[in-house]
Amino acid sequence: MTEDRTHFGFRQVPMGEKAKLVREVFDSVASKYDLMNDLMSLGIHRIWKRMAIQLSHVRYGESVLDLAGGTGDMTSLYQKRVGEAGRVVLSDINAAMLRRGRDRLIDDGVTGNVSYAQIDAEKLPFRDNQFDCVCIAFGLRNVTHKDAALASIYRVLKPGGRAIILEFSEVQGELLKKTYDLYSFELLPFLGKVIANDADSYRYLAESIRMHPNQEKLKQMMQDAGFDRCEYFNLTGGIVAVHRGYKF
């Protein structure tokens, strides 16, 4: 990979084009995003998200930034934890996803202490030491400069604050790997075509997962960004992992 190119799935593209290509993917799938999440994971993504929330140790009255928050699943769960005295910012770089998340939360009666921001995770427009927790769930793999995003997350966390990264990761065990590869590259694009009329976006999803840093590499990247007590928790055989790091 040359300095001015990066990966978009298995393709090599100019570094400046990746964000646009990712945006097009999510513009395409926004209307079917929640349905596809349930179908792809058989609903298990809801358990993964709740486990990430538990590991965040977010408490009443705290402030949370939900990065790449999409349709608001994590924001809704965090809002219940922080209560009226806390606040949650639902953010996404993609306007279509953010609108869908805002509309969904409003329809569910989640208002008051939730705000919305269309922002880039690499350049967070918040002052230093502002949030008790910053979460990014299934979004870091789409970021062009992951090191910049991690540094930005670190900057806006308060001392004692936590970063929570929920992301697809490296599957553990050869049998599960073979089964998961078959599912990812055959069944997933088929579901994308039938349900969302978009096989290519879900083929990109499978490819982007394989290009994302594995558990140990991401842990090291967090340490390089300044985080302490970095650790990860494999879920469902490493299909996903929750990484946690603290700012002291």
Tell me: the pLDDT tens digits for 12-60?
888 888 888 787 777 777 777 777 777 778 889 999 999 999 999 999 9
Asked if residue 199 has pLDDT above 50, the reply is yes
Task: Specify whether the backbone of 182 is left (phi greater than 0), alpha (psi in -120 to 50) or beta.
Answer: alpha
Domain ranges within the chain, ordered by starting residue:
5-173+202-246
How many angstroms separate the CA atoms of 243 and 110, rounded?
A: 27
Other beta carbons within 10 Å of 240: 24
Tell me: the pLDDT tens digits for 113-138?
999 999 999 999 999 999 999 999 99
Q: So what CATH class is 5-173+202-246?
A: alpha beta
What pTM does this model have? 0.89
Asked if residue 1 has pLDDT above 70, the reply is no
Identify the DSSP state of 122. Answer: T
